[in-house]
Chains A and B, each alone.
Chain A
Amino acid sequence: DAGVIQSPRHEVTEMGQEVTLRCKPISGHDYLFWYRQTMMRGLELLIYFNNNVPIDDSGMPEDRFSAKMPNASFSTLKIQPSEPRDSAVYFCASSYSGTGAGTQYFGPGTRLLVL
C-alpha cells in the first residue's frame, strides 16, 4: 500500500489567499484525521471523520477553516482566507476500526507558509 498521500508537500501563499490541502487515506480505512503541528502549540487534532462523516470538529480554529470528505478515498482541508498564523505543518492520518485501538497512519505532511 502506498500509505497516506498528501498534496501538496509544500505550499507558499500570500495572506488572504485560499489554500486547499488534500489527503488520500489508506484504502479500506474508515477514519480520517486532520492535524496541525506548530512549535508553539504542538500537534493539534483539527477534525476527524468516520465513514466520511465529520465526527468532531471542535479543534477547527475558526470559520476560516473547513474540511470535507466527499468519498472514502479523498479529503480536503481548506483555509479561506489564509493568515500568517496558519503557517504550520498539516498532517492527515487514517485508521481502520477493524483492528481496534485506533492505530493511526500518518501522511508526510504539508508544510504551509503564509506570507
Chain B
Amino acid sequence: AQSVTQPDIHITVSEGASLELRCNYSYGATPYLFWYVQSPGQGLQLLLKYFSGDTLVQGIKGFEAEFKRSQSSFNLRKPSVHWSDAAEYFCAVGNTGGFKTIFGAGTRLFVKA
C-alpha cells in the first residue's frame, strides 16, 4: 500500500531564505510523486510531479523537487522564499498511472519578514 510521511508539521523561514520541505514515501513499485500547495480557504494546486526521467523536477512558482529512490524521498526546494509562498504543502504518492493518490499530512510554511 502507498503511504507518505511529511516529518515537519510546520516550518518558518525568513523571506529570501532557501526552503526545503521533506517527504518520504512508501510504495512497492515505481511511484508517481506529486507536490501540491493549498492556500487558506482554497483547493489544492499542483506544483510539480515526477513519474520517470530526470530525477530533478522543475515546477511552477520557482519550486523544484528531487526524487531519490535510495532514500525513498521527494523533497521540495526553493532557493528564495517569497511572502506569498506561505501556505500548506502536501506531498502525495500515486499508484501506477498516478490516479489513486495518497496525500501526506502536510507541512504548513510560515514566512517571516
**Bound together:** yes
Using CB atoms, name the residue of chain A closest to B95. A102
In the bound complex, do residue A56 and residue B100 qualify as a contact, i.e. CB atoms below 8 Å apart?
A: yes
Name the interface residues of B1-41: CB closer than 8 Å to any CB of A: 32, 34, 36, 41
Q: Which residues of B contact A4 (CB under 8 A)?
A: 43
In the bound complex, do residue A102 and residue B98 qualify as a contact, i.e. CB atoms below 8 Å apart?
A: yes
In the bound complex, do residue A101 and residue B43 qualify as a contact, i.e. CB atoms below 8 Å apart?
A: no
Using CB atoms, name the residue of chain A closest to B52. A101
Chain B 98-112, CB within 8 Å of chain A: the 1/0 string?
Answer: 111111111000000
Residue A25 at the chain B interface, CB threshold 8 Å: no
In the bound complex, do residue A103 and residue B46 qualify as a contact, i.e. CB atoms below 8 Å apart?
A: yes
Q: Which residues of B contact A56 (CB under 8 A)?
A: 100
In the bound complex, do residue B90 and residue A43 qualify as a contact, i.e. CB atoms below 8 Å apart?
A: yes
Using CB atoms, name the residue of chain A closest to B46. A103
Q: Given the interface contacts A101-B32, A103-B46, does A43 sit within 8 Å of B106 by beta carbon?
A: yes
Q: Given the interface contacts A43-B90, A45-B102, A56-B100, does A103 sit within 8 Å of B49 by beta carbon?
A: yes
Q: Which residues of A contact B41 (CB under 8 A)?
A: 108
* CB proximity of A24 to chain B, nearest CB, Å: 14
Please report the C-alpha to C-alpha distance between residue A45 and residue B100 in the assembled complex, in whole angstroms.
8
* CB proximity of A28 to chain B, nearest CB, Å: 16
Interface residues of B (CB under 8 A from A): 32, 34, 36, 41-46, 49, 51, 90, 94, 97-106
Q: A45-B103, A102-B94, A109-B43 are in contact. List 9 more A-B contacts (CB 8 A).
A: A4-B43, A31-B99, A42-B104, A48-B99, A50-B99, A93-B43, A100-B51, A102-B49, A109-B42
A sample of 9 cross-chain residue pairs with beta-carbon separation below 8 angstroms, ordered by A number, consists of A43-B103, A43-B106, A45-B102, A100-B98, A101-B97, A102-B49, A102-B101, A103-B98, A106-B45
